[in-house]
């Protein structure tokens, strides 16, 4: 037996130490338990509502529902833009393992292109996490079938059906209707700034051009929401609540589709623009710009190749020539210059001038030639308008001066936006002294004023401005703002477009308007009129004014030998019937056009409108030789 080495061991001290340690351990356990209980109380009692909300947010999702976009019709109820179902391949990137490998494997199945992949990456960058992102739009039946067979290999990818915009008449209406296309970063920034971004939560497209853009707020509608319960994988278990979307409103335009397409056929091969309107209301019956392009190319995102082709096309099909093309308005403005000069007291109805074929600037040797080199002889206002005598209006411009010319012609809408319901419009230029000094750092000279009298020089205008000015003349100075909207369908009822309150451009003697209009009547109906050969024999009365805008200004100009792109532009304005005008037309043929003369086209358009479809045919005449028309 081993002897005890510590006969004096203090068992009572050890017992006390053990008890102290046990108490400390118990206190620690009690403290930890208290902390756990306190934390549980904090979570379950104090923060109950907060964590309940967070839990519901993980379990309950608000899924936005896109509204159906409103349709666009012409004045006769023909659909010009509507929605059709397309199929789109989508994926939530965060829920797919090996996303890039999966996409690569999908490539040959659904024919993914480089543009598809590029658009996917752009969309992913601006989308929130766990958002379904389109990988390929507008799948055809074969692609949908291929994916359906292979879908088990691609969890997280699915094909969804959507409404997509469609334009059944292609290029015929592009510059009026415009198109919708994918929302880009600039759109997102603008919508966010305007407080409208939430209304596009389920929408991939937005109006980019034309009516689609201008009336976006009317056509888009209001986004709805669906409250759904999802499992831990994000799959929908059941629907809890639904707030249906509000469809966009249908709109009806003043356009006549048949007239629009008819005019487009007349202009095939030409760079041209035509505006047809009702002078009584300002409603646009046709607005044609050629060449054009198919807007459906842009709906699903145009390919880089196709866009480059449009952008680099020398004929500039992307430009709306009717509202964005700027040209010297040429002699089409002479009736307005005449009214302005009579109103300013510069000339009277009895003013005459002898025209030898040129006009010389007083105090200089500078001569301004008339288009008719042997001259028109003795002229009064009416004859000067009928024969479009330049010399008469050179003298008028000299006597008026640029200050009064600019002031008066601005009243006819030149140098200003017309107010048409399209965002794509240029204001043209009504030159002033101040403008030239700012633009060229040079003063205005008398010689600058003279060509302004015949719509040349620095003066530029758009065809829609020409149409508005013509309607002001027809209405004796009453301004009708050109517009395309006819009515809007609201709650099943058609609500007519409310016109702006019309204004008068000034207190102008009614006789001055009649003199100008009679001069235009002579253009079309009297043997010496510059348009007589086109309008003689018409079964209705026409008033017209032709114009030639110079592109190549040398004295040796010869339209037969000069390059096509340097030939003069041909313009014409007209209205009918003369005694009770119901329609007005403005035409520009860049470089003279590629088909019939401008007067021939004008007659065809007016016959089509005044006599009906059965009385008109497309012109089959050979193109007129360049330079055969008078001014």
Lowest-confidence region among 137-151, 329-343, 442-456? 137-151
Q: Which of 171, 331, 343, 406 is catalytic?
A: 331
Closest by CA position to 516, among listed 334, 279, 328:
334
Which percentage of the chain shows pLDDT scores above 70?
89
Give the pLDDT mean for 54-75.
Answer: 81
User: Kind and range of the H or E element at 122?
Assistant: helix 114-126
Question: Residue 237: its pLDDT value, please?
Answer: 73
Upstream peptide bond of 291 is cis (omega within 30 degrees of 0): yes
Residue whose token pair is 């046990």: 22
Task: Give the pLDDT confidence score for residue 622 in this predicted structure.
Answer: 35
628 has a pLDDT exceeding 50: no
- Summarize pLDDT for 525-541 with one digit per residue, the tens: 999 999 999 999 999 99
Whole-number mean pLDDT of the chain?
A: 89
| Residue 57: predicted pLDDT | 53
Distance between CA atoms of residues 66 and 201, nearest Å: 8
Residue 83 has pLDDT above 60, yes or no: yes
pLDDT bucket at 618, cuts 50 / 70 / 90: very low
**Separation CA 118–CA 99 (nearest Å):** 15
Tell me which of 299-303, 498-502, 618-622 is least confident: 618-622
Report whether pLDDT(630) > 70.
Answer: no
Tokens 């044609």: give the residue.
Answer: 288
pLDDT value of position 631: 60
331 in active site:
yes
Model pLDDT for residues 123-136, shown as the tens digit of each residue: 888 777 777 888 99
| CA separation for the pair 110, 119 (Å, rounded) | 15
Give the Cα separation of 353 and 360 in Å (integer). Answer: 13
- Mean pLDDT on 192-221: 94
Cβ count near 127 (within 10 Å): 14
* Contact between residue 465 and residue 476 where contact means Cβ atoms under 8 Å apart: no
Residue 488's nearest CA partner among 70, 82, 205, 78 is: 70
d(CA 438, CA 416): 18
Predicted local distance difference test score (pLDDT) of residue 119 = 85
Adjacent-strand bridge partners of 237: none
Q: Yes or no: say if 278 and 166 are a contact pair by the CB < 8 Å rule.
A: no
**Residue 160 pLDDT:** 86
pLDDT at position 2 is 55
Residue 238: exposure state from Cβ atoms within 10 A (0-12, 13-18, ≥19): exposed
What is the spatial distance between Cα 343 and Cα 290, in angstroms, rounded to a whole number? 38
Q: Identify the CA nearest to 481 among candidates 471, 493, 495, 489.
A: 471
Instruction: Give the separation between CA 252 and CA 193, rounded to whole angstroms.
Output: 30
Residue limits of CATH 3.90.1310.10 in the chain: 62-253
Cα–Cα separations (whole angstroms), residue 1 to 4, 6, 7: 9, 15, 15
Greatest mean pLDDT among 156-170, 182-196, 341-355, 589-603 lies in 341-355
Average pLDDT value for residue range 568-586:
96
Instruction: State the average pLDDT over residues 587-601.
Output: 86
Token pair for 43: 């979570």
The string of DSSP letters for 466-485 reads HHHHHHHHHTTTEE---B-E
Q: How far does Cα 108 stand from its chain's mean position?
A: 37
Give pLDDT, residue 232: 61
- d(CA 126, CA 191) in angstroms, rounded, equals 14
- Residue of 521 and 132 predicted with greater confidence: 521
State mean pLDDT over 194-203. Answer: 91
257-615 belongs to which CATH class? alpha beta
Distance of CA 54 to the CA centre of its chain: 45
Question: What number of other Cβ atoms are within 10 A of residue 230's Cβ?
Answer: 15
Tokens 């009679």, located at residue: 518
pLDDT attached to residue 624: 39
pLDDT of residue 559: 56
Q: Which residues belong to CATH 3.40.710.10 in the chain?
A: 257-615
Percent with pLDDT over 90 in the chain: 65
CA distances from 152 to 95, 147, 300, 546 (A): 15, 9, 27, 69
Cα 445 to chain centroid, rounded? 38
Kindly write down the DSSP assignment for every residue of 422-448, as one continuous string. Answer: -S-----B---HHHHHHHHS----HHH
Q: Which superfamily is assigned to 62-253 in CATH?
A: Penicillin-binding protein 2a (Domain 2) (3.90.1310.10)
Residue 133: predicted pLDDT = 86
Strands 358-360 and 367-369: antiparallel
């Amino acid at each position: 037996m081993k002897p005890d080495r510590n006969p004096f061991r203090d068992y009572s001290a050890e017992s006390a130490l053990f008890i102290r340690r046990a108490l400390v351990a118990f206190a620690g356990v009690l403290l930890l338990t208290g902390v756990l209980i306190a934390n549980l109380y904090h979570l379950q009692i104090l923060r109950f509502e907060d964590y309940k909300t967070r839990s519901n947010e993980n379990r309950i999702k608000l899924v936005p529902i896109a509204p159906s976009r409103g349709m666009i019709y012409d004045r006769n109820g023909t659909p010009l833009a509507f929605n059709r179902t397309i199929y789109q391949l989508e994926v939530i990137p965060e829920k797919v393992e090996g996303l890039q490998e999966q996409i690569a494997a999908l490539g040959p199945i659904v024919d993914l292109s480089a543009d598809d992949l590029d658009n996917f990456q752009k969309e992913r960058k601006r989308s929130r996490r766990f958002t379904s992102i389109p990988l390929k739009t507008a799948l055809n039946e074969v692609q949908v079938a291929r994916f359906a067979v292979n879908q088990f290999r691609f969890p997280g990818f699915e094909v969804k059906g959507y409404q997509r915009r469609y334009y059944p008449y292609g290029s015929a209406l592009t510059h009026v209707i415009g198109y919708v296309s994918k929302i880009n970063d600039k759109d997102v920034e603008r919508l966010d700034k305007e407080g409208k971004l939430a209304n596009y939560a389920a929408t991939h497209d937005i109006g980019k051009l034309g009516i689609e853009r201008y009336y976006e707020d009317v056509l888009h509608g209001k986004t709805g929401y669906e409250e759904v319960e999802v499992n831990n994988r994000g799959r929908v278990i059941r629907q809890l609540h639904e707030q249906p979307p509000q469809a966009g409103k249908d709109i009806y335009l003043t356009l006549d589709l048949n007239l629009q397409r008819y005019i487009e056929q007349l202009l095939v091969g030409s760079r041209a623009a035509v505006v047809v309107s009702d002078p009584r209301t300002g409603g646009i019956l046709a607005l044609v710009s050629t060449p054009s392009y198919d807007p459906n190319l842009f709906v699903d995102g145009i390919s880089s190749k196709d866009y480059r082709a449009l952008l680099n096309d020398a004929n500039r099909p992307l430009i709306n020539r009717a509202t964005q093309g700027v040209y010297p308005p040429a002699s089409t403005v002479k009736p307005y210059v005449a009214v302005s000069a009579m109103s300013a007291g510069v000339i009277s109805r009895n003013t005459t001038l002898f025209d030898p074929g040129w006009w010389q600037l007083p105090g200089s040797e500078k001569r301004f030639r008339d288009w008719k080199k042997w001259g028109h002889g003795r002229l009064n206002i009416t004859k000067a308008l009928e024969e479009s005598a330049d010399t008469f209006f050179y003298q008028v411009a000299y006597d008026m001066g640029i200050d009064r010319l600019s002031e008066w012609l601005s009243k006819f809408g030149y140098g200003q936006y017309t107010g048409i319901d399209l965002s794509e419009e240029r204001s043209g230029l009504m030159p002033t002294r101040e403008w030239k000094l700012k633009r060229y750092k040079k003063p205005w000279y008398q010689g600058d004023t003279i060509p302004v009298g015949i719509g040349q020089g620095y003066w530029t205008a758009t065809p829609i401005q020409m149409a508005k000015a013509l309607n002001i003349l027809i209405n004796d100075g009453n301004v009708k703002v050109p517009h395309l909207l006819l009515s809007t369908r609201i709650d099943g009822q058609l609500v007519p477009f409310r016109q702006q309150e019309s204004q008068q451009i000034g207190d102008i003697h009614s006789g001055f308007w009649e003199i100008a209009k009679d001069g235009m009547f002579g253009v079309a109906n009297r043997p010496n009129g510059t348009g007589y050969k086109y309008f003689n024999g018409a079964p209705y009365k026409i008033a017209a004014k032709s114009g030639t805008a110079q592109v190549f200004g040398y004295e040796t100009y010869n339209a037969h030998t000069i390059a096509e792109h340097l030939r003069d532009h041909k313009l014409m304005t007209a209205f009918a019937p003369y005694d009770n005008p119901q329609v007005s037309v403005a035409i520009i043929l860049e470089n003279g056009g590629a088909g019939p003369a401008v007067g021939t086209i004008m007659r065809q358009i007016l016959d089509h409108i005044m006599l009906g479809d059965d009385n008109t045919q497309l012109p089959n005449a050979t193109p007129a030789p360049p330079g055969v028309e008078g001014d």
